[in-house]
Structure 1
Amino acid sequence: MRTLSFRLAAALSYVVALAIGLAMVTALFPIDVLVPRAGMGWAPQGDAAQHAIAQRYFLGDAWRWPPLVARNLIPPEGLNIAFSDGIPLQAMLLKALRGVLPDGFHGIGLWYAIAWVAQPVAAVWCLRAAGETRLLPAIGVALAAVSMPAFINRYGHAALTGQFTIFVALGFYLRLVRAPSVALWAGAAAAMVATLLIHPYLAAMALALLAATPLTLLLRGDSRWVGAGIGVAVAVVLVAGVMLAFGYVGAQGDGGFGQFALNLASPFWPYRSWVLGALAPQEIDATGHGGWEGYNWLGLGLLVAIAAVLATRPRATGAALRRHAGLVLALAGLTVLAVSFRVGAGEAILLDLGPAPGFLEQFRASGRFFWPVGCALLIGTAALLARAPHIGSLSVLAMGLVQFADAAPNRAALAAWADQRPAWVVDAPALRGLLAQAESVTVLPSWPCVPPRDPFGDHVRQLQVLTLAAERPVPANTMYVARWRGARPACTDAAVLATPLAPGELRIILPGAREAAMATMPDAASRCAPLGELLVCGPR
């Protein structure tokens, strides 16, 4: 009977968590966001457009090696879609199913649904790993997990909403320090590889949590730390092998470690809090780059629960911290990394340690590394609070309800973003007709040639033209990327403009290249015609 009751509580916990996730997806995301098609009357913007373009080109290309390269984008080398945050894990699965997908489909919208459903389910799985298996605490944690402000506010960047991977990694840690097995380590290693193929930032966080396993066991004096160390080493080798095989190694970006760092006040700064938001009308920032990437308000429900646990269960809290000392050290290290070399508190820089070592330059948005700390605080606080006499379970449920209510402005911002239907700034119907006849498209200025401050708005126009081209997809010469191999791509537009049009080529000239095109492009006067602010050049 007791086993049956345990299994029923587990099933109900996951069912409720799943229902919460599905309810959030239904409430927040319109169907045309979740299931996009070619020919839509509105234009994706910013990072969302970048991710969708990368996936569409990848889905429309042949399978090849390395498996993430789309050769129909920036030929002949092609684009590794990991460098445009195309969620490779999902993209490869969709590519295997592309024969049954709608025309022009991409999975970026669908990924939001996956992330929002997985977030509460993974949090419940993690809480159960901490030893709390009752239904009410599970409901409280599920509600709190979908209400973590740092999770909700990643809506502009689909891959980074995959923060359920942090709960998964934390759940593996909690199980591995208690009862390790070969099967568990195999699952953990597979989870690390999958997380890499969602986003490398998340993989770095997940590996840090997994690496806490042998450290905790060592600090406990448990001889199993040796086997745990081997397990972590195997996971790291597997991740490194996938990075090498899939073309991640050698990638670099614009650098700037710490430009988007964690402000020391951020976890307590109630921006977009329903209860306290009037005290914080905007993000807190000391670096001059805005506080968005370092946004880590923990939420009112979690902060009140932390205070309650510290006040009512100080001995149990201290014992838990000592018992998981390796995890505490890992989280402290991630916090230091998040704060970066320029330590900001409020609007002031308290400490500037100068330039960071070169390898850290890959982590410009260092403030993200506080996410595992928030997840661990949620699970640890819930587990401790649930064990309080008499009202423990109800207290965790109350934490979740308060956290959920306090996150209402965050959800409203997400819903408003998902409801946007931005107009095309290019003539989409006319361009679709031209692209239907083209064998290739050349967009100028190409991404390396668009000025950093983009005075002509050519970055937006370029993404919109590529969004339209990706619906087929038509092989294109350029793409906005977050990372690249080797040196930063050079601007070679002058040489391209001096080259006659190739058979089947459609050349689309944005305002920033129009003057140069008319002056240097062969037969420009006879082969180019205005289309709004653009010039389109093709067969006579």
Structure 2
Amino acid sequence: MSASQVRPAEARQARAAATPRWEVLAALLAGAACFAVILGPGVLDPRNIAWMQERDAATYYLGWSFFRGSPWTWPPAGNPAYGLEIASTIFFVDAVPLVALLLKATIAPATGPWQYHGAWLLTCFVLQAHFAHRLAGLYLADPVARLLVAALACFSPVLLWRLSGPHALTGHYALFGQWVLLWAAWLCLRPPGRRQGAAWLLLGVVAALVNAYLLAMGLALWLADIARRRILGQGAAALALEASAMVAVVAGALWLGGFRPMAGGGLTDFGFGLFRANLLTLLDPQSAWSFVIPGKPRGAGDYEGFGYIGTGGVALLVAALWVVRKEQRPPIPAPYRPFLAAVLALAVFSLSNQIALGSLVLVTIPLPEALERWVAMFRSSGRMIWPLSYLVVFGAAIILCRRLGRGRGRVALAVALLLQAGDGAAGWLPIAREARVAGSAWNSPLRDGFWDEAARRHARIRYLPTANVTPHWQALAHLALRHGIPTDTIYLARVDADALARSRERGMAALRTGVFEAGTLYAIHESLTCMAAAVIDPAQDLLMRLDGVDVLAPGWLTTGTVPAAGQVIHAAGRTGPGLVCAPDASGRMMPGAPGG
């Protein structure tokens, strides 16, 4: 290691070590303040679940609630009531296994409305500010500038995009843990100390228990740090031992969190090449994150590759490029090259094999089938753009502050923060409004008293045909949850394809033969309802449309009655009040013609 490499590193480490406690606390408070502005303290109430009823947030709440109400399994992350034959674990609900396992084992009640997601989001805001502050502390001596960078990181569009809101088909609370990436970047850039390996092992465990995408990006940066430390002279044997330990601890954490291979397939799913990053993504607010900058044309799945650096980030980038426009570009020091290579490699992967500029696909790169199966495990490759998005903003902020000096640097960062938060309000204000919806009740469309009575009298709820994400799944899953019975009306991140096919075929066999599972309440897709009407016993089995759902309760009429709001569904040729199956314009038999 040369003297020119040692002295700046030692100076930076001394500055970081000398950071006063008040400044560390101020950074944490900055994160908490951003949380209060955007989400508000109401989401911290565990009994407040009303704000989680929309989009993906409902998935996390329902999956978690089935998990906390189920007996412990081995491995401990099993979630058998949420899916029946296609059930898996809490890992595939994307409900942050790190927190779910800890709270189930300690304070979480087994029943009733109770969520931890608000507390998780607060933790993420605080840690986002903390690690942004530590990153800035490696290069900026001004405490005010460091705190402004911390606040700027909390308003990063790529971060806030992962909150559940009307801006896009997103809302992924586990992926809100992007502080893991800032933590990894800080480890990559700080002078490596004696505990560098232990810090990386801790990061690997945490990331494995939060989300697979964050783990993959974190491991890429860890490999970059391995290369850096080798360049700086650390022994190969010690690094090999660290690598072995990393494999072991990550594998153990994934097992604990519920990750498992699916023998019938399912880890690989469609979407690679669709859910990508666009070449314009760093400058594209996607018509949702700016009042003044228009969105660019793009592909249908490019929302997963949202990498907009924000209006404040754009201002910082332009200003930084301006102030260095006449400077000679020095060579990149060798220890920094692995980190930059890892960030760029992740960015290239984010583009997928269908590289697009706006709505135009420039090139499609054919992939070998074996490689395609591997990359399909990270089908939303566009998320890998995040490290580059952060690097551009942080790099521009640091360059600008170092060139402008303390006073003007503070002004530049303050203006950038105002632009980032102010113009970004186009995206985060709708989220803030939805987060203020409060209450402990779940607003279900299943309003008739029949549903509660039927759930009490049945041992499970199924949907025909079996699928991952069916119509009405949220309402039916919540009905099953309230009555403590299992259901296959679910939404999982990945499903075993063979188990799904077997379950689907059993359901179709029941529709063909009229032999239905005892103790089961069925919801049926309207395209199959007439198939059921043709095989049931209309004197005993109730088939009706109620609250917009086609429902079959085998044997119900032997002890129960038809609810007043229900429309009984008859097979073709039969008569009676309700709906009669008749061919639609395409020739399919569909319930719709009024009976007499």
Answer yes or no: same fold by TM over 0.5.
Answer: yes
Flag the 1:137–1:229 CA change in 2: closer, same or farther, 3 A.
farther
1:195-241 CA-partner distances (Å, limit 9, x unpaired): 122110111011111111122234x4534566345434422332134
Q: Report which stretch shifted further, 507-516 or 50-59.
A: 507-516
Q: Which amino acid aligns with 2:162?
A: R
- Alignment equivalent of 1:426, drawn from 431, 445, 448: 445
CA drift of 1:66 comes to 1.5
- Alignment equivalent of 1:465, drawn from 456, 470, 476: 476
- Alignment equivalent of 1:149, drawn from 154, 157, 167: 157
Q: Report which stretch shifted further, 421-430 or 348-357.
A: 421-430
CA–CA distance in structure 2, aligned partners of residues 529 and 339 of structure 1? 48
2:193 corresponds to? 180
CA–CA distance in structure 1, aligned partners of residues 546 and 493 of structure 2? 30
Q: Which amino acid aligns with 1:144?
A: L
1:126 corresponds to? 135
2:530 corresponds to? 515
Flag the 1:290–1:74 CA change in 2: closer, same or farther, 3 A.
closer
Find the residue that maps to 2:362 and give its secondary structure.
Answer: strand
Q: Which amino acid aligns with 2:124?
A: A
Q: Report which stretch shifted further, 4-13 or 110-119.
A: 4-13
CA–CA distance in structure 2, aligned partners of residues 318 and 306 of structure 1? 19
2:432 corresponds to? 415
1:62 corresponds to? 71
CA drift of 1:11 comes to 2.4
CA–CA distance in structure 2, aligned partners of residues 110 and 263 of structure 1? 33
CA drift of 1:262 comes to 1.0
Q: Report which stretch shifted further, 388-397 or 160-169.
A: 388-397
The answer on 1:304 being equivalent to 2:315 is yes
The answer on 1:22 being equivalent to 2:32 is yes
1:80 corresponds to? 89
1:205 corresponds to? 217
Q: How many positions carry a matched residue from both structures?
A: 519
1:280-310 CA-partner distances (Å, limit 9, x unpaired): 2x4541xx42431121111122233233334
CA drift of 1:108 comes to 3.3
Q: Which amino acid aligns with 1:361?
A: A
Q: Which has the higher helix share?
A: 1
By relative contact order (CA 8 Å, sep 6+), the higher-ranking structure is 1
CA drift of 1:59 comes to 0.7
2:21 corresponds to? 11
* Alignment check: 8 A CA contact 1:140 1:399 kept: no
Mapping of 1:82-231 within 5 angstroms? 82-99=91-108, 103-128=112-137, 130-132=138-140, 134-155=142-163, 156-175=171-190, 178-181=191-194, 183-218=195-230, 220=231, 222-224=233-235, 227-228=238-239, 230-231=241-242
2:375 corresponds to? 360
- Alignment equivalent of 1:259, drawn from 274, 283, 292: 274
2:485 corresponds to? 474
CA–CA distance in structure 2, aligned partners of residues 364 and 77 of structure 1? 21
CA–CA distance in structure 1, aligned partners of residues 97 and 464 of structure 2? 28
Q: Report which stretch shifted further, 362-371 or 470-479.
A: 470-479
Flag the 1:329–1:5 CA change in 2: closer, same or farther, 3 A.
closer
Find the residue that maps to 2:361 and give its secondary structure.
Answer: strand
* Alignment check: 8 A CA contact 1:136 1:394 kept: no
CA–CA distance in structure 2, aligned partners of residues 168 and 429 of structure 1? 50
* Alignment check: 8 A CA contact 1:294 1:367 kept: yes
CA drift of 1:383 comes to 3.5
2:508 corresponds to? 494
Find the residue that maps to 1:289 and give its secondary structure.
Answer: coil
Q: Which amino acid aligns with 1:495?
A: A
Flag the 1:532–1:308 CA change in 2: closer, same or farther, 3 A.
closer
CA drift of 1:337 comes to 0.1
1:406 corresponds to? 423
Mapping of 1:246-395 within 5 angstroms? 246-250=258-262, 252-271=267-286, 277-280=291-294, 282=295, 284-285=297-298, 288-313=299-324, 318=330, 322-355=334-367, 357=371, 358-388=373-403, 389-390=405-406, 391-395=408-412
Flag the 1:300–1:210 CA change in 2: closer, same or farther, 3 A.
same
1:455 corresponds to? none
Flag the 1:11–1:382 CA change in 2: closer, same or farther, 3 A.
farther
CA–CA distance in structure 2, aligned partners of residues 81 and 252 of structure 1? 15
Flag the 1:479–1:215 CA change in 2: closer, same or farther, 3 A.
same
CA drift of 1:57 comes to 0.7
Flag the 1:43–1:226 CA change in 2: closer, same or farther, 3 A.
closer
CA–CA distance in structure 2, aligned partners of residues 411 and 321 of structure 1? 38
**Overall identity of the aligned pairs, in %:** 24
* Alignment check: 8 A CA contact 1:25 1:116 kept: yes
In angstroms, what is the RMSD of aligned CA positions?
3.4
CA–CA distance in structure 2, aligned partners of residues 495 and 80 of structure 1? 28
Flag the 1:335–1:8 CA change in 2: closer, same or farther, 3 A.
closer
Find the residue that maps to 2:302 and give its secondary structure.
Answer: coil
CA drift of 1:427 comes to 1.9
Flag the 1:445–1:426 CA change in 2: closer, same or farther, 3 A.
farther
CA drift of 1:15 comes to 2.4
Q: Which amino acid aligns with 1:194?
A: V
Q: TM-score, normalised by structure 1?
A: 0.84
